[in-house]
Structure 1
Amino acid sequence: MKSIRNLALLAALLGFQAYAEEEPKKEAEQAQPPAAAAAPAPAPAGGHVFAWPFMDWKEMQPRGGSTKGSEVTLRTEAKDSWKRLHQPGLDKFELDRRAILALAGSYRVSFDFTETAGLVENFKPTRPYFSWGTENVSVLEDRGGFISLQHSLVMYFKNEKGETDGPHVMKHWRQDWTYQDPELQVYQGDLTWKKVPTENPAGKWSQAVFQVDDSPRYESAGKWSHDGGMSMWRSDVRPRPLPRREFSIRKDYNVQEGTDEITVTPTGWVHVQSNRKLQVNKDGSRQYVGQELGVDRYEEITSPDLATAFNAYWAKTNGYWKDVRETWTAVLKERDTFSMKDTYDGKQLFMIHFQRAEEIEKAEKPDPEADLKHAQETIRQFLN
């Protein structure tokens, strides 16, 4: 398998995006209010821009991924996990569990975001965002009331000759689900997280989301509902750091505050985000600058094969990533509040972890003791 270092760097920098992002507009361009007398140009068929029908549609063309991936074949029949979820006689707890386990699979994943409101003067919405990739979601652990799902990008590209290049595997984000979790790691802004008791945890599942390097990103709790054949989890309000698609072009806010809805479908799942854009200042004052709506759609595919490539990568590197996860578990257990450095010695955390994982993947003989020491020392270097 080809070196994944450059792809890992690219994909991690782009957050939940598999492909290269076009050059963003300069902030000064985005900040310019539209001319008062300018009428919107009529949109061609299919050119309507959701939420902004009276803006010139050409100014609202989506930014995001531009590299072409290989063709995919979508699953047409219901997944086995969907059928298991709809077996009769299941109690609420087992329905919840099966809904979470149904999130695993191989998917074409699309990420679609649109600002819906501005809350400051002279507001002009940024261009909508759209990107997609192919992603494998595997069950790392299932201990009844705890389920861990590992996402990994498995990418096939089309080159200039139209030939398929791949697979390229990159470990992506992770989500851990805990039943009736008594406390959450809540993002405070400024790369700081604080342990907070869960509000009314009875019957709730927490979803803890971790970065590509397994450092914490955000966590929230909510309840699953199963009514009329629809299984959906709705979170309480959660703050989180800005995603790449935002912090690469925005400097006017530093926290995304919102809710998540995850709905299981016969051939995948849909994640809907309702986010508020919030500036939290060091003196504690707060200013909302806007709102956005996001839809992440996971559609099961039957080809290309994602699982085989992921399993081959994971067989060689899982020991190291387990060390990383367990080191973070210890850190979160011992600290009520923690802050992270953005870089150490000129490098970001994911760069160091991915370089080590690549070395392990190529090594002829594993060295578990050295890998554990590397994981622990690396993470400690990034803690304030």
Structure 2
Amino acid sequence: MNLFRLKQRKSALFAAALGAALALLASAGVRGYGQADNEDIGADANERQYTFSWQHAVSGDMAPRGGTTQGAEVILVTEPSPEWLRLQEPGISKKERDRRAILSMAGPYRTSFDFIETIGFTHGYAPSNPYQSWGTEYVYVVTDKPDMIQLQHILVMEVKKEDGSAMDPIVVKHWRQDWMFEAPTMHTFKGNREWKKQAVRAERRGHWVQAVYQVDDSPRYTAAGEWQHTANFSSWKSDETWRPLPRREFSVRQDYDVLIGTNHHTITPTGWVQEEQNLKVVLNGRGGAAEVLARENGLARYERIAEFNWLPGDDYWERTKPFWAKVRAYWSETFTREDHIVIAKQADGAYMFTTLFQMAEEPGIDWSASSEQANLEAVMARYVTFPP
């Protein structure tokens, strides 16, 4: 077998394995994780919990989708974290309190995700089944500067087999969130896989722009907002923002084009919560909203856990950190230089995330070498274009 065919085969096997891992994670059920040293979460481990639903729907029709995988037991942290206590310190400036709120989102978490459509706007509307999933992930601080904080999420999943034995840990680089203080511009999603630079609203004093990135560090959405702090309460609310369909939706839905909504990030003594309120919107041929199908509410809880084995995630992040730093630098330079960006779904039959995840794991590559930088830029040029 020649080298070219060997690389093709390796790429196909890697893509298949990564796709299977992401599919497993996407199907993980919120009832799936264990819970140690806390109250029982239910008599039947396979029974899905949902209370905020459609009361008059036929029984069972609104059972959540999302799978039923189980994970290892976790120990929840019950005392206020040091990060929370630092956030409550008196006498610090508003900006420093904002920064501490953002940095307090780093750390070890059990996460749960709940999404449900609450209102329909079309004739004959029937609500989609709610979605629930779970995960265990560590949030690393990548950058901590006065006006810029970057947080990288890494999933480390200890999933149980049907016989109760544990699979090898599944490690996947998850999403990233960047926070920029009083940023003057941001690239916003416009539908049809396009992002365009726009000015942040005129009154941006004290505001932070949050930019959220996909697993491969390509852009997802950005929004400006302000942190509010009162006594023991710290919360950030975004302006309305457009975003592409998330994996939980584009894998099963093709009837709408964009989510338009707002985010809340709220810090708690033992973690944080992200709340979303989204409209599911069909675009017209000119890129504007033609029809709104439904409103959706989302709730993601990040609960601190202790005594969990994060070493597989630490090892992955340390091993691939130089590569992902180059990818972040590519996007930073691109955002500075380009006003209009289009990102292809696939190139030569491969998704960007499978291509970049494989590059990240290639052994013995010096990513500081100019030749490797040129190689990365050539790969990105297959996916990213810049219309006039």
8 Å contact from structure 2 (residues 175, 215) kept in 1: yes
RMSD of Structure 2 on Structure 1 (CA):
2.1
Q: Secondary structure at the match of 1:63?
A: coil
Count of equivalent residues: 353
**Distance (Å, rounded) in 2 between the aligned partners of 1:285 and 1:310:** 41
Unpaired runs of 5+ in structure 1? 23-44
**Distance (Å, rounded) in 1 between the aligned partners of 2:307 and 2:14:** 21
Q: Secondary structure at the match of 1:58?
A: coil
Equivalence for 1:136:
138
Deviations for 1:72-104, whole angstroms, at most 9, x for unmatched residues?
A: 111111111001101111110010000000000
1:365-376 matches, cutoff 5 A: 366=366, 368-369=368-369, 370-376=371-377
1:116-265 matches, cutoff 5 A: 116-199=118-201, 200-265=203-268
Unpaired runs of 5+ in structure 2? 1-12, 30-46
User: Structure 1's 48 and 56: CA in aligned 2 closer, same or farther, altered over 3 A?
Assistant: farther
Instruction: Give the Å deviation of 1:50.
Output: 1.7
The residue type equivalent to 1:358 in the other structure is: E
Equivalence for 2:3:
none
Equivalence for 1:76:
78
The residue type equivalent to 1:173 in the other structure is: W
1:12-161 matches, cutoff 5 A: 12=22, 14=23, 18-20=25-27, 49-161=51-163
Instruction: Give the Å deviation of 1:5.
Output: 6.2
The residue type equivalent to 1:231 in the other structure is: S
Instruction: Give the Å deviation of 1:139.
Output: 0.2
Instruction: Give the Å deviation of 1:21.
Output: 6.1
User: Structure 1's 46 and 4: CA in aligned 2 closer, same or farther, altered over 3 A?
Assistant: closer
8 Å contact from structure 1 (residues 189, 255) kept in 2: yes
Question: Does 1 or 2 have the higher relative contact order (CA < 8 Å, sep 6+)?
Answer: 1
8 Å contact from structure 1 (residues 65, 132) kept in 2: no
Q: Secondary structure at the match of 2:52?
A: coil
Q: Secondary structure at the match of 1:272?
A: strand
User: Structure 1's 203 and 347: CA in aligned 2 closer, same or farther, altered over 3 A?
Assistant: same
The residue type equivalent to 1:18 in the other structure is: L
The residue type equivalent to 2:103 in the other structure is: L
Instruction: Give the Å deviation of 1:194.
Output: 0.6
Q: Secondary structure at the match of 1:256?
A: strand
**Distance (Å, rounded) in 2 between the aligned partners of 1:167 and 1:19:** 16
8 Å contact from structure 1 (residues 49, 57) kept in 2: no
**Distance (Å, rounded) in 2 between the aligned partners of 1:348 and 1:126:** 27
User: Structure 1's 74 and 133: CA in aligned 2 closer, same or farther, altered over 3 A?
Assistant: same
Instruction: Give the Å deviation of 1:322.
Output: 0.6
The residue type equivalent to 1:346 in the other structure is: G
Q: Secondary structure at the match of 1:202?
A: coil
**2:283 counterpart of 1:293:** no
The residue type equivalent to 1:297 in the other structure is: R
Deviations for 1:143-190, whole angstroms, at most 9, x for unmatched residues?
A: 111000000111112124422233332111100000001111110000
Equivalence for 2:5:
none
Q: Larger deviation: 94-103 or 66-75?
A: 66-75
8 Å contact from structure 1 (residues 48, 57) kept in 2: no
Instruction: Give the Å deviation of 1:372.
Output: 2.5
**Distance (Å, rounded) in 1 between the aligned partners of 2:277 and 2:209:** 18
TM-score by length of 2: 0.86
Equivalence for 2:356:
353
The residue type equivalent to 2:115 in the other structure is: F
User: Structure 1's 175 and 4: CA in aligned 2 closer, same or farther, altered over 3 A?
Assistant: farther
The residue type equivalent to 1:267 in the other structure is: T
Q: Secondary structure at the match of 1:261?
A: strand
Instruction: Give the Å deviation of 1:214.
Output: 0.3
The residue type equivalent to 1:254 in the other structure is: D
Equivalence for 2:6:
none
**Distance (Å, rounded) in 2 between the aligned partners of 1:68 and 1:46:** 12
User: Structure 1's 11 and 196: CA in aligned 2 closer, same or farther, altered over 3 A?
Assistant: farther
The residue type equivalent to 1:331 in the other structure is: T
Counterpart of 2:19 (choices 9, 32, 35) is: 9
Q: Secondary structure at the match of 2:317?
A: helix
The residue type equivalent to 1:66 in the other structure is: T
User: Structure 1's 338 and 154: CA in aligned 2 closer, same or farther, altered over 3 A?
Assistant: same
The residue type equivalent to 1:20 in the other structure is: S
Q: Secondary structure at the match of 1:90?
A: coil
